[in-house]
Amino acid sequence: MTRSIAVFGTGPGVGQAVARRYGKEGYEVVLVARRREPLDRLARDLAAEGVTAHVITGDLGRSGDVPALAAQVRAAVGDPTAFYYGPVPSGLTFVPAVELTPGHLAERLEITLHTLLALVGEFLPAMAERGDGAILTAQGAAAAHGRPYMSGWPPVLAAQRNYLQSLAAEVAGQGVYVGMLYIGSRILGTSFDDDYRRRQARGEPVPDLPAADPADLADLLWSMHARRDRHETIV
C-alpha cells in the first residue's frame, strides 16, 4: 500500500519542506493551499524528483469547506496515511497583550482550531481502523511560551496545542501518532523573515530571533514521526 500525506498549508517554509521530506521517504503527497500557482510549481519540482504530487486549492480559514476538501484528498490518494497542518492566517500581525481584544482571537480561531478539528474528524477514524497514522503540525514557540508584544495569534495556538496534547494521549494506543513542532526562530524563505530583515535594516526594534532552515525543521518533524519517541519538540 502506498503511503500518503496531505499537507494542509503548503506555503513557503515548513509546509513545502514537509512535502519534499515525505516525498523523499516514498510518500505520495497532496498539496493544499489557497493559491494554485505555487502548488503547481512545487508539484512539478516534486515530479522531477520522482514524487507523485496532487494539487488541491482551498481556503483553510473556512472550516465548512473541510468535507469537500477531504473528498478531493480521498479522490487523489484515499484516506491519507498522515496529514500535516500548518496554515498561517492571512494578514498575520502580532499585537501587544495589553491591546489584545476578543476580535483578534476570533479572526484566527477558525483557521487555527476549527478547521483542524474538522480534518481530524474526517481522517482519524481511518487511521485508527488501520492501526497506523500521523497528525503533524509545526507552529510558533509562542504557543508554549508567551513573548512580550507577540500576542494575537499565540493564545489561539496555545489552545490548539492543548487540544493536540490531549489527542496525542487518547490515540496513542490506536497506533496514531500526534507530533507537534514549536519553532522559536524566523524561518528562511518566508514573508515573516523578509519583513523581519527589512525592519532590522531600517533600525526598527525586532525580537532577537535566530534563523532556521525549513528543510532542517522538516527533517526534525520526520524524525519525531519515524521514531515516535516524543510528541513535542520546541526549537
Query: Domain containing 208 — which CATH number?
Result: 3.40.50.720
The yes-or-no verdict on residue 132 having pLDDT over 80 is yes
Q: Three cell numbers at 11?
A: 506555503
Q: Is residue 65 pLDDT above 80, yes or no?
A: yes
Question: What's the confidence (pLDDT) of residue 187?
Answer: 76
**Number of structural domains in the chain:** 1
In terms of residue numbers, what domain contains 143?
4-234
- Return the ∠ at Cα 191 (arms to 186 and 192), rounded to 5°: 35
Distance, CA of 210 to CA of 187 (rounded, Å)? 9
Q: Report pLDDT digits (tens) over 78-124.
A: 999 999 999 987 766 777 888 878 888 888 899 999 999 999 999 99
* pTM check: above 0.75: yes
* Cα–Cα dist 95/116, whole Å: 24
Round to whole Å and give the CA distance between 51 and 25: 9
Q: Residue 193 has what pLDDT?
A: 67
196 vs 208: CA distance, rounded Å: 10
